[in-house]
Structure 1
Amino acid sequence: MGAKRLAGRQRGVTLADVALLAQVSEITVSRILRNHGPIGADTRERVMAAVRQTGYVPNRLAGGLASSGSKLVGVIVPSLTNIVFPEVLGGIRSALEGTGFQAVIAVSDYDLATEQALIASLLAWKPEAMVIAGLDHTEMARAMLVGSGVRIAEVMEIDSQPIDLAVGLSHRQAGFDTGQYLLGRGYRRFGYVGHDWTSDHRAKLRYDGLVAALAEAKVALVETCRFEGPSSVGAGRDMLAQILARRHDLDVVVFSNDDMATGGVFHCLGAGIRPKQDLALFGFNGLDVGQALPTPLSTVRSNRFLIGKTAIEKLLGQRERPEGREIIDTGYDIITGATA
């Protein structure tokens, strides 16, 4: 029995599935997973290979409790310090209110290996559903999610095919629309200031969309400057200083997000550069801090609370994983602001 066949099932992968694939008894599989008793190295490796192939996760619930479910919803986000994700959690909490289900929240710190370990831990408690930020996972993490049979919502983006349900926005389209919006306002000499794309591939998707919009209008991205680390106000301030030191003729700079763009505004204030009049600045996320600036930030606002709320409502509205995949676009709005 191969992983492909198992992946199509709507029930979770069982101990029997692993035993059948490894060609051993269920007792042997159980002993190996519990590290109980002497087992030959070849047999152990065969069983663990079957575990990896099927994505099997041991059930940590006991007896009758396992049959009735855990009343838990597992949630994995990359950060709690980035205000984007607490707003998603606010939507999740709102949708769970009065349902009898509780969210168990884990933080991956933008690391896929950490996310994989968290997925294994949460699935071991047989949650009713899982909500995970993003569509990128390790191969093993994806196998566990597919094989679990539980409802899975991958949130924040819809640019790839989900395991089950995706709720969010197209970041590539948001980048494209940003480019078109700024072109429509007469800007032609574009710069880009960003942060690490390895941990935040959604920022890269927005960059790709921006470049595509400019190319369609036969306008080149004049200069790019990226910080090799997470986004921050300080990084945005420093990167804008660097890009302007290289190119004095830019008329607009697009930032990877509002954290970086807010730093850009601070650099302008310190350097005597008037946002919009001297240099247009544009962000992404629509954070409150950007709108509280003396010159409110021009940006794209994503519907983060709605993303979390919609994900839970869909997951609990249909408890069994459907045969087909579903993608829900929660959209975004361009905030005119006063910096572009």
Structure 2
Amino acid sequence: MDGEGRSIADDSVPSAAETPTLAHVARLAKVSENTVSRVIRNKGPIAPETRLRVNAAIDALGYVPNRAAGSLASSSSPIIGVILPSLSNIVFPEVLRGINAGLIGTSYRPMIGVTDYSLETEQDIISSLLAWHPAAIITTGFEHTTAARRMLEGSRVRIAELMDIDDRPIDLAVGLSHREAGRAMARHLVQRGYSRIGYVGHDWTADRRARLRYEGLCEGLSETGLSLVAEYRTEAPSSTLEGRRALASLLADGAAIDAAAFSNDDMAVGGFMHCMAAGMPVPDGLALMGFNGLEIGQVLPKPLTTVLSNRFAIGKTAIEALLETPQRPQEARIIDTGFSIIEGATA
């Protein structure tokens, strides 16, 4: 026995100064190192009792797998790179929830980067993620810097571009047609009898999808012989405060509208607050319609009429499609998760 009360021959237990290794786990579980590796990576057939013994050894030793080392030994690691524009905008955490749900029961884990809507930041994150040899990278939208696109196309790892299907993907696109969603907004308002429709929007520089919805809205109105009566677009990112300010500015300019289509629910909720403050009844004085189907819009005194984007389904569907095959297919694939109208009570 040594001074710590363990057998010197018992080399399955690391000393207090040692970091537990794969070899320690293998010796304690009485299996090969290759078997331990396969249990950790959830690869190949493993007898249930063997899996239990290995996991018990891992727990007993406090062993943490070295993911970086594993990536050097194989073509890819268990990492799924997830690049989101924002975590403060509730839309993207809901997508992330879907991604996480799709990963439950697999050996893959997300590594998350946030761009704050900067394509240059996205490029840096892509470069860093690819150094880890990820199994896949998930991005938002089709817009990338030229260098970032080259890296994504040349990496040959699975790539999913989420939220939008109005362009050609590198590998996989999962989302909805924002142009069609804009057309659906126009049809809904016209079918409800509104003909003097205005638009209230936020900055398009970082939000290509909002512009696509605007273009679809205009196209949908044109199909019925109508056009926007007035429009106001703030240069700031979307927020309830900007929505309130923007609708106030539109109406202060003398816009004679009976309905306002907003770029998203944040802006529309702000518009609702302006109507409340101004004593303008909704929808009798002014109808309001948003996009996204956020919970905040549905807890207003009058639930917001809006377009529901299936954000959780987008994330979950993307992961499931990526994990169907580790190899990038020759033909790009588009999965339309669709949208629906929440009729609400504001339009």
Which residue does the alignment assign to 1:251? 258
Deviations 1:250-306 (A, max 9, x none): 100000000000000000000001111110000000000000111110000000000
- Taking structure 1 as reference, are residues 63 and 311 closer, same or farther at Cα in structure 2, changes over 3 Å only? closer
Q: Compute the RMSD of aligned alpha carbons.
A: 1.2
Which residue does the alignment assign to 1:117? 124
Contact 2:262 2:291 in 1 (8 A): yes
Query: Are 2:200 and 1:180 equivalent residues in the alignment?
Result: no
Which residue does the alignment assign to 1:90? 97
State the shift of 1:66 in Å: 3.7
Query: Are 2:277 and 1:270 equivalent residues in the alignment?
Result: yes
SS of the counterpart of 2:168? Answer: coil
Alignment equivalent of 1:215, drawn from 222, 227, 244: 222
Amino acid of the structure 2 residue aligned with 1:115: E
Give the whole-Å Cα distance in 1 for the aligned partners of 2:255 and 2:219.
24
State the shift of 1:339 in Å: 0.5
Task: From the CA coordinates, give the structure whose radius of gyration is larger.
Answer: 2
Which residue does the alignment assign to 1:335? 342
Give the whole-Å Cα distance in 2 for the aligned partners of 1:298 and 1:126.
44
Give the whole-Å Cα distance in 1 for the aligned partners of 2:71 and 2:183.
52
SS of the counterpart of 1:267? Answer: helix
What percent identity do the matched residue pairs reach?
59
Aligned pair count?
A: 281
Alignment equivalent of 1:309, drawn from 316, 319, 326: 316
State the shift of 1:318 in Å: 1.0
Matches for 1:114-153 after TM superposition, within 5 Å: 114-153=121-160
Which residue does the alignment assign to 1:101? 108
Alignment equivalent of 2:200, drawn from 189, 193, 205: 193
Give the whole-Å Cα distance in 1 for the aligned partners of 2:253 and 2:71.
67
> Where does the alignment leave 5 or more consecutive residues of structure 2 unmatched?
1-66
Contact 1:236 1:260 in 2 (8 A): yes
More contact order relative to length (CA 8 Å, sep ≥ 6): 1
Alignment equivalent of 1:296, drawn from 292, 295, 303: 303
SS of the counterpart of 1:313? Answer: helix
Give the whole-Å Cα distance in 2 for the aligned partners of 1:328 and 1:81.
26
Which residue does the alignment assign to 2:16? none
> Where does the alignment leave 5 or more consecutive residues of structure 1 unmatched?
1-59
Contact 1:236 1:262 in 2 (8 A): yes
- Taking structure 1 as reference, are residues 252 and 68 closer, same or farther at Cα in structure 2, changes over 3 Å only? same
State the shift of 1:232 in Å: 0.2
Which residue does the alignment assign to 1:261? 268
- Taking structure 1 as reference, are residues 185 and 124 closer, same or farther at Cα in structure 2, changes over 3 Å only? same
Q: Deviation above 3 Å: which 4+ runs of structure 1?
A: 60-66
Which residue does the alignment assign to 2:242? 235
State the shift of 1:68 in Å: 5.4
Contact 1:66 1:126 in 2 (8 A): no
Amino acid of the structure 1 residue aligned with 2:327: E
Give the whole-Å Cα distance in 1 for the aligned partners of 2:196 and 2:180.
21
